[in-house]
Amino acid sequence: MDDAVADKLIDGVAVAKLVRAEVAKDAAALIARGVTPGLTVVLVGDDPASAVYVRSKEKACIEAGMNGVTIRLPAETTQDELLALIDKLNVDPTVHGILVQMPPPKHINPQAVILRIAAEKDVDGFHPVNVGRIWIGEKSGFAPCTPAGVMVLLEKAGVKVSGANVVVLGRSTIVGKPMTSLLVNASATVTVCHSKTKDLAAVTRRADILIAAIGRPEFVTADMVKPGAVVIDVGINRVEDATQKKGYRIVGDVAFATVSEVASKITPVPGGVGPMTIAMLLKNTVRAAAQGLA
């Protein structure tokens, strides 16, 4: 990477480190008051990618001085058994945050699981009560970790969101929709694009800030980006690559090599949005613990 591109990078690893240091400080203050913030992650089944995510969440909790517990359940666990476990965690005073790793096995309805988690412990921000709280700008709500992480990245990179034309590419429940609500509440003018959007490139070229969250490898090309725009890449896609030991490499939703030439700032993949997600999960958990004291 040449120096001109390196200067444009928004470094998610560095920002996540800052957030995690803040979280560790807040956790220490709560511990001094007799409350150790605790996150319990529930993993049903043995999906290898999920197992990796869950281990890193537990490790990050411990590093921040918090309690990080993982409950691993067999793939045959019934929905009723899982809901009964959630009921127990909901009333356990040592558990401030509950996260059920998604997606669960096919016989379990993810929405039933999300609805069962007490909104006050829903540090994923997936419960409809939190979705609503975030939409109306109520501070007590929990925002989903990935879009919340994008907002922090923009802030730390000195990008002005208020009044900016922001285009969100993708309308998922986990990223696109909550991203939109956070941006609207930060006074951006937001356009949400998706598979039915007409003349997509004409719309994305109007963006001062373009946020790509569609899960398609290197979908955003330089002709879709206004020169000088800020580009945030939420994508994490595996593409086959015989030159790699693993047989694949990870790319974002943005064609980095060419888009980085026209953008004024850009997040890399990996090392951009990804590291922020766990940092924000820890932050939500500490907040859940603090709100329980209030």
> Closest-CB residue for ligand GUN?
102
Q: Which of 145, 161, 134 is nearest to 56 (CA)?
A: 145
What are the beta bridge partners of residue 98? 40
Least distance from ligand GUN to the Cβ atom of residue 57, Å: 9
- Contacts of 191 by beta carbon, 8 Å cutoff, 6+ apart: 165, 166, 167, 168, 203, 206, 207
By beta-carbon proximity to ligand GUN, the closer residue of 101 and 267 is 101
Largest CA distance in the chain: 57
By beta-carbon proximity to ligand GUN, the closer residue of 37 and 204 is 37
* Residue 143 in the binding site for ligand GUN (CB under 6 A): no
Q: Which of 192, 188, 176, 113 is nearest to 144 (CA)?
A: 176
* Residue 101 in the binding site for ligand GUN (CB under 6 A): yes
Least distance from ligand GUN to the Cβ atom of residue 35, Å: 24
* Residue 67 in the binding site for ligand GUN (CB under 6 A): no
Is the CB of residue 286 less than 8 Å from the CB of residue 37? yes
β-strand pairing of 165-169 with 209-212: parallel
* Residue 145 in the binding site for ligand GUN (CB under 6 A): yes
Count of beta carbons in the 10 Å neighbourhood of residue 52 = 10
> Interface residues for ligand GUN in 117-136 (CB under 6 A)?
124
Provide the 3-class DSSP secondary structure of residue 236: coil
> Interface residues for ligand GUN in 239-258 (CB under 6 A)?
none
* Residue 99 in the binding site for ligand GUN (CB under 6 A): yes
Active-site residues, by number, are 57, 101, 124
Least distance from ligand GUN to the Cβ atom of residue 114, Å: 9
* Residue 172 in the binding site for ligand GUN (CB under 6 A): no
Query: Near ligand GUN by CB under 6 A, which window of 94-102, 195-203, 234-242, 268-276?
Result: 94-102
Count of beta carbons in the 10 Å neighbourhood of residue 194 = 13
What is the binding site for ligand GUN (CB under 6 A)?
Answer: 99-102, 124, 145
